[in-house]
Structure 1
Amino acid sequence: MHMGAPSFMIYASVILLVKLVSDNLLMASSSSTSTPMDMSTAILIRVDQSGMGDYDKIQDAINAVPSNNSELVFIWVKPGVYREKIVVPADKPFITLSGTEASKTIIAWNDTGEIYDSPTMAVLASDFVGRYLTIQNTYGTSGKAVALRVSGDRAAFYGCAIVSYQDTLLDDAGRHYYSSCYIEGGVDFICGNGASLFERCHLHSTAENEGAITAQQRSSPLENTGFTFLGGKITGAGSTVLGRPWGSYSRVVFALTYMSSVILPEGWNDWGDPRKQSTAYFGEYKCYGPGANRSNRVKWYHSLSNHDAAPFLTKTMIGGRAWLRPVPTHFKQQTGSTISTLKAQGKT
């Protein structure tokens, strides 16, 4: 693609658990036969650069999860800047990687090259959850530099910041859910062929000239993929379009989204290939703000009616109601011994 972010302390665990049950957020799970029988209990692994955790590095904690894992694993990352290139292998499902506040728990790397090789963090496993993390590629503005690659099915991210400039988020393949995330970039900074719902997310364009927010890769009308942005906002400097078609059947919908004046009046771009105007599906529904004025939009975009928009306003496209689940309420050590339990007070 040519593209032009020592022993366990009971007291500390209770503080974390109180935060988790109060969030009232969902996380990803599997609907397959390998789904953990106990969906309320997770193995807890702590990462702490000070040496007070189970591991000093995030990758070491991931490596400690057994292949073909069939239990929920919750890796709690203490605040700090972790300069690591992270890979979650395909044979390690059911991992949650969680900070407590994205601005204080930062995973940073500096790399460029092909988009599948440059990510600061690559999620290849299914049923992965990321929470309260900043994932950043610090390479700069002179080339492709992916912060996060998501290639596993049933992945969810909550309250994360994903930051780079070009190809920030490679939403590669699978069904994904992003809730209240901050995503920053300048050129095609949300790209790939995932089937993904971005709910209440903040997109921030840093385009130096004319940028593009999305480059969705759907290449056939038979593929049930595409990006839906629901109830979020777009800010930034310079100017940008909402999207351009990486794949001929690229599909992107913005619904109920605030758009600042960073959005160019034409809204969308055919990437220099007029043939894609008849096959790409770019839609807008009840968006607002100075950038949402559609009087000068390209003629081939879709202004969605209530009926047209309905399939994009739920989790149906990603099948989310079958695999999104509450946060676990009980935690145990890798040895199997219970380290703390705290039942949610009527919360699911």
Structure 2
Amino acid sequence: MAFRGSLFKFLVVITLYDAFLTVNSQAETTDPTKMTAAILVRVDQSGKGDYTKIQDAIDAVPSNNTELVFVLIKPGIYKEKVTVPADKPFITVSGTKVAETIITWNDSENIFECATFTVLASDFVARYLTIQNTYGNGAQAVALRVSGDRAAFIGCRIISYQDTLLDDTGRHYYSNCYIEGATDFICGNAASVFEKCHLHSVSEGAGAITAQRRESPAEDTGFTFLGCTITGVKTAVLGRPWGPYSRVVFAFSYISSAILPQGWDDWGDSSKQSTVYYGQYKCYGRGAITSKRVGWARSLTSQEASPFLTKDFIGAKDWIRPAPTSFRTASKPISHHSDGNN
């Protein structure tokens, strides 16, 4: 029995690499912007796909992967915590209907442990997914944690209450996403561009949309919001500083009256007023009026705003990749229901 179990494990490893191993050499020589073909893996709760769970599909990708892997999720409610490990780059996880493809969990542990969906890998893409943490008010409850470099989220819904999106480290791009929360619901120390996103505060009081954590002026991090829409059920501020050199810029964005006239909060530490970088450029709406902003907020000139007005802020030309144009299926998908003794 021991021999048969070892043989099964050996065959599993061989089959995984037959499905996923690239003919190219090292991962570091791969240019994501020129990768157009992908291995297609289907996740379907009814059992008609390759896997019934999202995590199983990700687990099947070999370490140090260098090929595009496109994990297609059939609509449904997936009650699972999902992690994309650091050694599994070049994965896309995609739904087809954002409102019908829901990844959900209910957790409120440590901010770095409670996320419904955690991305540790580089060169990750998510498309048309709803990612939510249903814990509610009262504790940190992250829906999405992004701690890998070069990650993009297209047309996703990210929903929780406190610390909804832990935009932790790396360079990230969010396009046409809906992000909802009440307290510091976009937080972390990544360098990120949010383009045409809808930020919605559900705070019953003076909640904060952002809590950016830049620790020193040497760090090239910060959040830039381009052409976004900001709404809320009551009142909120645009941000407060998690780190002393917190940096956030809103440009060309609609800001509703849900945003308080002062715009920003120093989190009870007036010393941060001289070190934070909170800017606004050509925004509009009743909440965009700058005449009553705190004295340490910036109304940016075109020259001051220029570095933040394109995706060059995150070096996007070098890594944001288009959707694949061709697919092939894994030749021998592995069943994760085997016990290893048959």
What TM-score, normalized by structure 1, do the two folds share? 0.86
| CA–CA separation in structure 2 for the residues paired with 1:32 and 1:311 | 28
| 1:234 partner SS | strand
Q: Which residue of 2 aligns with 1:309?
A: 305
Residues 1:286 and 2:279 aligned together: no
What pairs up with 1:61-210 in 2 under 5 angstroms? 61-210=57-206
Residues 118 and 145 of structure 1 are in contact (CA less than 8 Å); yes or no, is this contact kept in structure 2? yes
Give the TM-score taking structure 2 as reference length: 0.88
| DSSP 3-state at the match of 1:307 | helix
Gaps (5+ residues) in structure 1?
Answer: 1-29, 338-348
How far the C-alpha of 1:324 sits from its partner, in A, is 1.2
Which residue matches 2:221?
A: 225
CA separation of 1:247/1:38 partners in 2, compared to 1, >3 Å: closer, same or farther?
A: closer
8 Å CA contact 1:31, 1:323 repeated in 2: no
Amino acid at match of 1:56: T
Instruction: Give the letter for the 1:157 counterpart.
Output: F
Q: CA deviation at 1:34?
A: 4.2
Aligned residue-pair number: 308
Q: Which runs of 5+ in 2 are unaligned?
A: 1-25, 334-342
Question: What is the alpha-carbon root mean square deviation over aligned residues?
Answer: 1.6
Mapping of 1:261-300 within 5 angstroms?
A: 261-300=257-296
Q: Which of 1 and 2 has greater Rg?
A: 2
Q: Which has the higher helix share?
A: 2
Contact 1:160 1:180 in 2 (8 A): yes
Distance in 2, matches of 1:284 and 1:119, equals 30
Distance verdict in 2 for CA 1:205–1:37, change over 3 Å:
closer
For 2:309 and 2:290, the matched residues in 1 are separated by 20
Which string of whole-angstrom CA distances, capped at 9 and with x for unpartnered residues, describes residues 87-138 of structure 1? 0000000000000011010000000021101100000000000000000000
CA distance in 1, matches of 2:88, 2:185: 27
Residue 180 to residue 36, structure 1, CA distance change in 2 (3 Å): closer
Equivalent residue for 2:231?
A: 235
- Change over 3 Å in CA distance of 1:38–1:210 after alignment to 2: closer
Identity of aligned residues (%): 67
Q: Which residue of 2 aligns with 1:19?
A: none
> Is the contact between residue 166 and residue 187 of structure 1 (CA under 8 Å) also seen in structure 2?
yes
Q: AA paired with 2:184?
A: D
